[in-house]
Amino acid sequence: MNNLAEQVQRIKSIMEQVTEPVSGKCDLTKLQGAGGDSREARLWDKELAKQNKAEEKERIQQSKNFMSLSYDKDAYPLEKAVRKEYYNQYQQFMKDNPSLLSNSDGLNSEQKYAIASKTLDFIQHVPKISYTVNLGTKFGLNPKSTVKDVHDVIEKMGGYDVYMEWFNAGGPKFK
């Protein structure tokens, strides 16, 4: 984390040297046109690439955590007792629905259960976020829905791969 803070500070320092605002990704022509030399431009590109790589790595890790029974819906590690209870819920679900979460889409049944149950957790406890609102509007999911209901919606959307793309995009409105 400290390294990321240092990177942000270096980027701010570079940006302060630019008289014309630089937006989004590095605009080399603006940076050079504002009196920056090529060394500053290279430093800016290097820092931006590091930041983008760090953000992508964090996003990938959060996505992996979302598909694990060891983490909560916000990608925080669960305490041992909670994790054990969550795993027991998964095992009971699989006893009651043995073939529902078959291994496909490159995901195993445990990962699918984690995705569906965490989505249900969002629906039940965070009703105003885009995921919850858009799933409710389009598919009728609500706090009384079940993991099976969420699974059925994910299948209607095109499967878990398609769902995770939608989820990782922030849960945009459906067309």
The residue with greater pLDDT, 158 or 52, is 158
Please, are residues 66 and 88 in contact by the beta-carbon 8 Å criterion? no
pLDDT of 141-153, one tens digit each?
999 999 999 999 9
Give the pLDDT of residue 106. 84
pLDDT mean over 58-65: 72
Out of 32-36, 49-53, 90-94, 113-117, which region has the weakest mean confidence (pLDDT)? 32-36
Helix boundaries (H) for the chain: 2-16, 28-33, 38-66, 80-96, 109-125, 130-139, 147-157, 160-168
Q: Which residues have C-beta within 8 Å of that of residue 124, sequence separation ≥ 6?
A: 143
pLDDT of 111-128, one tens digit each?
999 999 999 999 999 989
Please, are residues 121 and 145 in contact by the beta-carbon 8 Å criterion? no
pTM above 0.85, yes or no: no
Domain boundaries, the chain: 2-64, 75-168
**CA end-to-end span of the chain:** 38
Out of 12-16, 127-131, 163-167, which region has the weakest mean confidence (pLDDT)? 12-16
Task: Output the average pLDDT for the chain.
Answer: 82
The residue with greater pLDDT, 27 or 170, is 170
Give the pLDDT of residue 67. 86
Residue 160's pLDDT band (boundaries 50, 70, 90)? very high
